[in-house]
Amino acid sequence: MKRERNITAISRSAGACVTPVLACAFLLLAIPREAGSRTERVNLLPKLQAGQTFTYRLRYRWEKLIRTQSSVVSPQVPGAAQVDVQGILRMDVVEVRYAGEKAVIYARTRFEALNSEMAFKPPNLEAPAGDVQRTDPDGKLVEFMISPGGRVDDVKGLDKFSPEEQQAWGDWVSLFAMAEVFPERGVRRGEKWESDEPEKSPAPIARLMWSKRSSYVRDEPCRAAQLMIDGQASEASQPAETCAVILTTAALKQQSSKKDATPEDFKLHELQTMGTARGTNQVIAYISLKTGLVVRATEEASQSMDVVLAKKDGTNRVHYKVDAKSNSEVLLVADTHLIHH
């Protein structure tokens, strides 16, 4: 999805100057600086207003392998699982409250179509007769708030979806709000920064932390996606805009002892755990310099866990080994007519 040619940098013209120094300086002053230049910091936060609507195509693939050992019982755990969730998600901006450069965003989303296998129908567009489509007949809404710092709060309605669909939604919202954790002063092309973030998903290993490294790699032309009748996407015909290409890599670090890794909620149920967890994650995102919207992004993740779960007295021990891989993609969809291959 990221195969477009780079924009020619203004600095190349400067480097090619062979005229006298003062003449070169005059030429450089005459060339207007574009947003995202190496010397200019840009704010990549979404520029939103109440009443705006955005549509995204998302896809989430997930594979998990679980191996168990127990001398007491035979755990009823599936040995392997695969999931492929696809959907068209519409986001309505309900309210935006600004506090300086940061904003509290109140929004709601609806899956206009949601499917794990079949083709799906783009929002508000009629498919030709005979095409089999699967939409969201219940019209399930998810209401939520994005706070400064990228925290997602007051989520309502997400519990109506399957765990896999919840994960797909969670991946989308984390990518949509990713700029909330960028440096407050803004970022410039070529800059790198680091951050730490606790693992938010429930896990039998306590105190897991993601150590993230991000960089503003370059600027590239980008366009929203145009949907085909079968749900596949191609570039829209509208004029290209400029996107900041952001690369983020992360490593999952365990801050608890492998001999006593019990989370607090497990202790409340008289359980104890020991073991290790590790993981890696990579996100490549294209963020519009004009709107701050994520135009497209991909995420690749890999995690593994080797954990023993037992009662507090050491009985009923079960040994789990879990390996999981996932990849997800989100594409901003242009408000254009449906097209065929």
What is the mean predicted confidence (pLDDT) over 323-335? 92
Q: Give 169-197 pLDDT, tens digit per residue.
A: 999 999 999 999 999 899 999 999 999 98
Give this prediction's pTM: 0.78
What is the per-residue pLDDT for 230? 55
* Residues 57-83, mean pLDDT to the nearest whole number: 79
Is residue 33's pLDDT more than 60?
A: no
pLDDT at 5: 36
| Per-residue pLDDT, 72 | 61
Q: Specify the pLDDT at position 4.
A: 38
- pLDDT band (50, 70, 90) for residue 11: very low
Q: What is the pLDDT of residues 87-133, one digit of tens each?
A: 899 999 999 998 777 889 999 999 988 885 433 334 443 433 333 33
Cβ-Cβ contacts under 8 Å for 105 (sequence gap 6 or more): 46, 48, 93, 95, 96, 145, 146, 177
Say what the pLDDT of residue 34 is.
41
pLDDT at 169: 94
Q: How confident is the model at residue 23, as a pLDDT?
A: 30
Torsion of CA 200, 299, 221, 30, to 10 degrees: 50
DSSP-assigned states of every residue in 78-122:
-SEEEEEEEEEEEEEEEEEEEETTEEEEEEEEEEEEEESSS--PP
Residue 64 has pLDDT above 60, yes or no: yes
pLDDT digits (tens, 9 = 90+) for 261-294: 999 999 999 999 999 999 999 999 999 999 999 9
